[in-house]
Amino acid sequence: MQSTIRHPAVAGLFYPGVPQELAHEVRTLLAAAQPSALIPKALIAPHAGYVYSGPIAASAYAALKNVASRIRRVVLLGPTHRVAVRGLALPGVEAFSTPLGAIPLDRNAVQAIAHLPQVTVSPHAHAQEHSLEVQLPFLQTVLRDFKLLPLAVGMATPEEVAEVLELLWGGDETLIVISSDLSHYLPYEQAEATDRATAQAVLQLQPPISHDQACGGTPVNGLILAARAHHLTPHLLDLRNSGDTAGPRNGVVGYAAFAFEEPGNEH
């Protein structure tokens, strides 16, 4: 099989395209995040440009401090913004690259879910998709040596997502990351109230989270089902919006960071 790489589509747009600048920005964002004693099995992190959502995303990835050394596989799910797909789409490549380097895909993980009817292969769905890409520099900075299983989630049910997560659940070596922003383009005060309600639903593991509440509602709902089955405890790490970071307040986008812990690890 000829080696294929999914090259970055939004480097220089959503985050710096120069390696040294990108590394410095990610390290700075992580250093500014609140320290955490959590032991996460799963994260939810936002996916806007770093100027808007970077501080909130950093809150999620900073929580990996105590588990980073043991993580060898990241299962990364995010919504499709440009290409409509049925189910959950694999990229059909061998690696994803960013200005910080290449991340190999986990072939064993690909094979573990390839038989599922809701799992497809769509390089087109991944080619310009930012929801997964913007998570990668954080993962490359926090983790040491890991493989990636990226899925672009389109028209699927929460149960179909949860079935995929179950097959990839693994042990301490596997981290699940769901990429999702919250409400879009509401006035600041309305967005705050809407996003607080969404955060409470996640903390109570009470789906459904609608696509008006979260653009990654489908993978979020799938994670909630999996979290219930595995008795995970969710924690809200950060909840802000673009009006708090770098944008105007007449129409904002909401961002949240969550960490989910397995039984026995709760704090």
pLDDT at 1: 41
Q: What span, in angstroms and rounded, lies between the C-alpha atoms of 144 and 84?
A: 33
CB–CB of 253/241 below 8 Å? Answer: yes
C-alpha 222/C-alpha 138 separation (Å) is: 23
User: Phi/psi at 174 (nearest 5 deg)?
Assistant: -110, 125
Helices (H), the chain: 19-32, 50-62, 107-113, 123-127, 130-133, 136-142, 158-168, 188-203, 217-229, 242-245
Would you state the pLDDT for residue 67? Answer: 95
DSSP lists the bridge partners of residue 241 as: 254
Measured between alpha carbons, how far is 194 from 190 in angstroms, rounded to an integer? 6
Query: So what's the pLDDT on residue 35?
Result: 86
Choose which CATH entry (3.40.50.300, 3.40.830.10, 3.20.20.150, 1.10.1370.40) describes domain 5-261.
3.40.830.10
Q: What is the pLDDT along the chain (267 residues), one digit of tens a residue?
A: 445 999 999 999 999 999 999 999 999 999 999 888 999 999 999 999 999 999 999 999 999 999 999 999 999 999 998 888 999 999 999 999 999 999 999 999 999 999 999 999 999 999 999 999 999 999 999 998 999 999 999 999 999 999 999 999 999 999 999 999 999 999 999 999 999 999 999 999 998 999 999 999 899 999 999 999 999 999 999 999 999 999 899 999 999 999 999 987 655
pLDDT in tens, 84-117: 899 999 999 999 999 999 999 999 999 999 999 9
Give domain limits for the chain. Answer: 5-261
Give the single-character DSSP code of 184. E
CA separation (Å) from 77 to 42, 95, 126, 150? 11, 16, 11, 6
pLDDT at position 3, please? 55
Closest to 73 (Cα-Cα) out of 179, 170, 166 = 170
Taking the CA atoms of 154, 252, 192 and 250 in sequence, report the sign of the dihedral they define: negative
- pLDDT value for 2: 44
| Tens digits of residue pLDDT in 118-145 | 999 999 999 999 999 999 999 999 998 9
